Structure formats: structure tokens, C-alpha cells
Amino acid sequence: MAGVSAATDTETSQPPGAESEERDRSGSPARPLRLAIGAVGVVVTVYLACNIFLAFAYYPQWFLGSKLLIGALGLIVGIGGSVLFFWFLNLCIEGLPSRMSEGVIPYAFLLPGFSLIALLLLYPTAQTIIYSFANNDSTDWVGLANYQAIFSDPAFWSTLFNNLLWILIVPILTVAFGLTVAVLADKLSGTGEKVAKSFIFLPMSISFVGAATIWGLVYAYEDAGSSQTGLLNAIVVSLGGEPQSWYQIDTLRLNSLLLMVILIWLQTGFAMVLLSSAIKGVPEDTVEAGRMDGASETRIFWQIVFPQVRPTMLAVFITVLILVLKVFDIIYVTTNGRYNTNVIANLFFNELFVSRQAGQAAAVVVVLLILVIPVLIYQVHSFRQQEANR
Amino acid sequence: MSTMKDGRRRSPLAMITMPVMVILWTIPTLGLLVTSFRTREAAASSGWWASLLDGAFTLDNYRELFETTSMGSSLLNSVVVAVPATVLPIMFAAFAAYAFTFMNFPGKDLLFILIVALMVVPIQVAFQPMLNLLGPNGLGINGEFVAVWLMHTAFGMPLAVYTLRNYMATLPGSVVESAKIDGASHFQTFWTLVAPMSSPAIAAFATLQFLWVWNDLLIAKLFLGGGANKTIIVDLQQMIGTQGQGEELLTAGAFISMVVPMIVFFSLQRFLVRGMTSGSVKG
């Protein structure tokens, strides 16, 4: 209900000062010269910018074949072009009668951003859904055949099961580690806290491919008897165990769990940073009141601090969950889905580029899209709530 | 129990646990760094920790990496990809955020909810149609830098609009109102007032977007490919499959691929934290 009332508010309420503005501008008639110059300017800017960008691709020799020059020019044309574009657009719309111009200008400012979104996100999404009902070169309808094909493949269900494990395990553990680190770091001295947080935050800047390389050295396996170069096997052997080829052990999906460790390692810093700032945002007097009542530090944490950081925990949880649903790179570069470690995004990649089953690949993406919908609804809902409280 | 300078009590639990966590979180990366300075024979015969004792390090892997592989040119490609792809979404997103924050118009709520929803949609949904559209049967720009700039600009747009709009909503509306009364156009108000005041949020988005673009594998692999224009991440991914000759270069290559984002990360950490806490994710 909050969302509905917020929506009607926006449409009826006037910003303060709007009345005086009406008085000032109501008389201004159309200014055809501005309108014309603005319109011509918009068209010319767009035409030139598009052609220069296409020239980067079609005629690299015009730019001496230099990547750096192309990059620098791309930056200049991109920034300059968009400033000019908006300037002309603003001029053009100001040339309209003022009543009309005030109504049109918001849409004009949204136009470029939303054009890109429509062209590169909305249109392709619709097209992919259509492809999922068509054959591999999209020349004929096949009804539900693509879906039947993927659903009847046991490998698909195994993949879906792995995704479910990732969803159940990674976000929870990331939030738990992040909270632990945030709470403990808060109890260190100022310098200690800063240093400790920097080290745990650092993996945030490392790519999934880089992280997989790093953890490859941890999980490396040499034959029993020879010297182990992998950290994990070295520890196992020094404790008297047998070295294991970790990525190949799918008992209890151990290999998937080990791959999850990589993502948790990458994301804990992110969770820590957000939770740490939430903990520091807890009003001191609420904690002080607990101390006055003689509550223990543990009790103060669970009964006073924890409820106040819960919204942030939920936000971090959802953000990591969204990331986990799309997880691809880590699996692609380590096992490529072998040994029962496949996930949906990797299945899609292999259907499309290895098996060349474009129709089934589209169907896999649609399944992924459907999995995302509950999260999407939740996000929209919580956004509306947040706006209502603003 | 002893107290710290600021009068808080020391926590033995934190003082023991935190160093352990820091070591656990750092050791994997340290292992990569150390290995990258070892010869192939040494790396194959013992764990990296062994070399900490005998101290036999070499720079050969790095020298060979730049002399015999495409890593040097891939590093340059990554810069050419990442800098424009970071900057280009900002202007478009900032104007959209301005409209969402300071103007009232029919459909505003619906359009902004579309932005919120699109932040969740997996980018994989766009790949097949975009490969057709940008490929040889379409525009024919696939494999060129322009193609990935375009993709990253569009895919970064929802997050950029969302982050900037959330920040602009905290700016005092009276400033914009008074500029209006003084007769400033929306363009002038944006350019001279709102854009400069939003610079922290712009820096925050730019830091997040740079890290995301630099570290991206999928878009780079599909829309730039593994040829002369490949990014350093795609190059690294290709190296991971290498067996035998050249295997020892992998760790050096991985480290080189991390240097630029780490520099950006450490110098702009302040903005990154602010971006994450104040806008892009919120409770």
C-alpha cells in the first residue's frame, strides 16, 4: 500500500517554488530559432558521434592503427559528444512554449540512457525468450522442444542442484564471515582495524580468473609420494593423510564446496565493509543504555546491535545472492563444469559455444531469468518500502 | 583488564582472531606472488613456502612474460577497454538521475522501478541477440573496442542511474529551486550545480565500474574475442590451460593482471566504500 500512495503523491504534488515559476514563464511563447538550432544540433551530434565510433571499428588505419589513440579519441568523442548532445537537446526543448517544454524535458534527459537500456537489455531479453522457442538458427518454431531437451537431461538437474547449493551456502557464509570480521575489527585499535580490514577487503579487487589462479596453487595435486606443491595437500600429507585431487571429488559435492570457498574469500571484504559501517551507525546511547543495565557484551550484541544491522545484512545477502545466481568465471576456468560441478551460467556458455545448441542455450538462460524473478520482486518491493520511509 | 588509548577495553578475542583471519585471507595471494618469482623447476618440485627459506628468486618469469607472450599488449588493451567503458555511462546516467531526482513527470515511478529490476537481470540474457546484432551479419563491429564500450556502457547504466539518483536525492532541493527561479536552464543547473555536488557519487560509481570492467571475462571474451584485441583477463584465462612450456608464466601473468585494479582499489578505496554504503546497496 505504501508504494501505491507514494505513486499518487508524485503525480499530484508540486515541488516548492513551482507556482512562482509558472508565473515567470507562463507567458513565454515558442522560440522557433532555438527549436531549430537545437534540433539540428542534436541530429548532427548524434550522426557525427555514431560515425566516428563506427570508424574506430571499420577503419582502424585512419587512426594509425593505434589502440591508445582510438581509446583516447573514444573518450573525447564520448564525453564531448554527450555534453554537446544534452546542450542542444536542452536548447531545442527550451524553444518550445514553456508549458510544453517543462513536460517534455524530463523525458529528453532520460532518452539517451533509456535508449541504451532498451537496445542492449530489453530488446535482447525479449529476443532471447523468443529464441528459446525456435531452432538453432532461429528459422523455425519448435514449440517447447528446447525445454523438453534440457529438462530431460539429468546433467541439467545436477547443474540446477549445484546452483541451489551455491545459493544456500555462499550468501549465508559470506554474511556470517563479514559480520564476524566487522564486529571483531571494531574492537581493535584504530590502526589495527584499518590494516586488518584492508587485507580482508583486498580480494574485492581481484578478478574471478585471477582468484581461480590463486586458489589453483592451494588446491594443486601431485601424485602420492612426490612432494606436494599445493598448500592444502601439503597440510593433508603432513598430517599423515593421502594427497587428493580436490577438483575431482564429487562425494557430497566437495569440489563444488571448494569452489565456493573462492567466492566467499572474494566477497567477505565487501560484506565486512557494509556491515562495519552499519555497526558504527548504531547509536552509542542504545549500547550505553544496555551497559547501564549491566548486560554482558554478548547480550548487548545480540539484543541491541544485531537487530539494528539486520537490514544491512539482508541487503548484503541479496547482493551476494544475485552474484551467485550468475556465477560463471570461477567454474569455467577451473573445472569447466566437469566432475559434477556445473552451474547454469556455465551450462549456457557450453550449450551456445561448444555444443552449438543455440535454442537450448536460450532455454537455459530463460530458466536462469525465471530463477532471478523472486529476487527481482523482492528488490522492487524493498525499494518501494525504502522510498516510502525516505 | 588493560585499555586502549581511546579508553575502550582491549578485546583478547579480537586480538587473536583478527590476525588469524588476516593471515588466512592473505596466504593464497602471497602464494601466487612468491610462486611468480620462482623457476619452473623449483615450482614443480616443492611448495612455494619452501622458497621462503632458501630464497632462490628470479625475475625471469616477468621478463619472459613481456618478451614472449601477448601479455604486454593485452595489458594495454585492458586500459583501452576499461577507461572509456568507465567514463561513458556517467554522463548519460547523470542526466537521467537528475530527471528522476528533481523533476516530476508521469511514469517516473514505473521507469525507476525498471532500473531497480534491471540491476538484478543476468547479462547472459542479452548475449545471443547482441552477438547477432554486432556480429558480421549486423553492424560488424564485434571484436572491436567499440563493441565492448557499448556493452559495458549499457550494462553499467542501471547501477549508475541508481547510485547517482540515490545520492542526488540527499542534496538540498532548495539549491535547484533557487537556480530555477534565477532563470537557469536545466542544463545550466545540472552542469554548474548538481554535477559538481554529485562528484563523490560519480567517483564511487566509476571505481566500481572500473573494477568490474577490468575484471570481466564474459563480455570481453564474447565481444572482443581472443585475438589481437583481447583483454588481460581473457589472456590469463587462455594461459590457464597451458601445460608444460610456459606454465611458469601463469603466476606472473596473474599478478600483472591484478596490479592495475589493486592500485585503483587502494587509491580510491574511500570512494568505493562510500559508493557501496551510500547508494548501490542499501538496507
pLDDT in tens, B208-218: 899 999 999 99
Specify whether the CB–CB gap between A101 and A44 falls below 8 A: no
CA angle in degrees (0–180, nearest 5) for A168-A171-A177: 125
* Per-residue confidence (pLDDT) for residue B113, from 0 to 100: 95
B278: left (phi over 0), alpha (psi -120 to 50) or beta: alpha
* Per-residue confidence (pLDDT) for residue B278, from 0 to 100: 59
CA angle in degrees (0–180, nearest 5) for B220-A198-A183: 120
Identify the band that residue A138 occupies on the pLDDT scale cut at 50, 70 and 90.
confident
Residue B166 is assigned to a structural domain of this protein:
yes
Q: Looking at beta carbons, which residues of chain B come within 8 Å of A109?
A: 95-96, 98-99, 103, 186
A70 shares its domain with A198: no
Measured distance CA(A96)–CA(B159) in Å, rounded:
32
Specify whether the CB–CB gap between A86 and B95 falls below 8 A: yes
Count residue pairs from A and B with Cβ separation < 8 A. 368
* Per-residue confidence (pLDDT) for residue B270, from 0 to 100: 82
Distances A355 to A92, A350, A352, A366 between C-alpha atoms, Å: 52, 6, 6, 18
Residue B5 is assigned to a structural domain of this protein:
no
B112 shares its domain with B243: yes
CA angle in degrees (0–180, nearest 5) for B171-B175-B179: 140
What DSSP letter does each residue of A364-381 carry, written as one string?
HHHHHHHHHHHHHHHHHH
Q: Is B47 strand, coil or helix?
A: coil
Nearest one of A113, A116, A96 to A104, comparing CA atoms = A96
Number of domains in chain A: 2
ipTM confidence score = 0.91
B59 shares its domain with B77: no
Question: Cβ B129–A68 below 8 Å, yes or no?
Answer: no
B224 shares its domain with B174: yes
A280 shares its domain with A371: yes
Q: Looking at beta carbons, which residues of chain A come within 8 Å of B216?
A: 207
Q: Looking at beta carbons, which residues of chain A come within 8 Å of B44?
A: 229
B48 shares its domain with B78: no
Residue B236 is assigned to a structural domain of this protein:
yes
Q: Pick from B26, B45, B125: which is nearest to A199 by CB?
A: B26
Residue A238 is assigned to a structural domain of this protein:
no
**Burial tier of A27 (Cβ tally within 10 Å: 0-12, 13-18, 19+):** exposed
Question: A51: domain range?
Answer: 25-131
Domain containing residue A174: CATH number: 1.10.3720.10
pTM score, whole prediction:
0.90
Q: Looking at beta carbons, which residues of chain B come within 8 Å of A200?
A: 21-22, 25
Whether residue A181 is predicted with pLDDT greater than 90 in this model: the reply is yes
B41 shares its domain with B80: no
Average pLDDT value for residue range A280-293: 89
* Per-residue confidence (pLDDT) for residue B1, from 0 to 100: 52
B38 shares its domain with B108: no
How many percent of chain A have pLDDT more than 70?
A: 93
Question: B21: domain range?
Answer: 12-63
A294 shares its domain with A337: yes
Domain containing residue B173: CATH number: 1.10.3720.10
* Per-residue confidence (pLDDT) for residue A389, from 0 to 100: 81
Residue B7 is assigned to a structural domain of this protein:
no
| Cell, residue A284 | 552509542
User: Which of A100, A131, A162 is the last residue before a domain boundary?
Assistant: A131
Residue A244 is assigned to a structural domain of this protein:
no
Residue B4 is assigned to a structural domain of this protein:
no
Residue A176 is assigned to a structural domain of this protein:
yes
B150 shares its domain with B115: yes
* Per-residue confidence (pLDDT) for residue B273, from 0 to 100: 79
Residues 6+ apart with CB under 8 A from A142: A133, A134, A135, A359
Residue B3 is assigned to a structural domain of this protein:
no
Nearest chain A residue (CA) to B149: A74
Cβ-based neighbour number of residue A13 at 10 Å: 10
Instruction: Name the range with the highest mean pLDDT among A247-251, A301-305, A382-386, B73-77.
Output: B73-77
| Under-50 pLDDT residues of chain B | 280-283
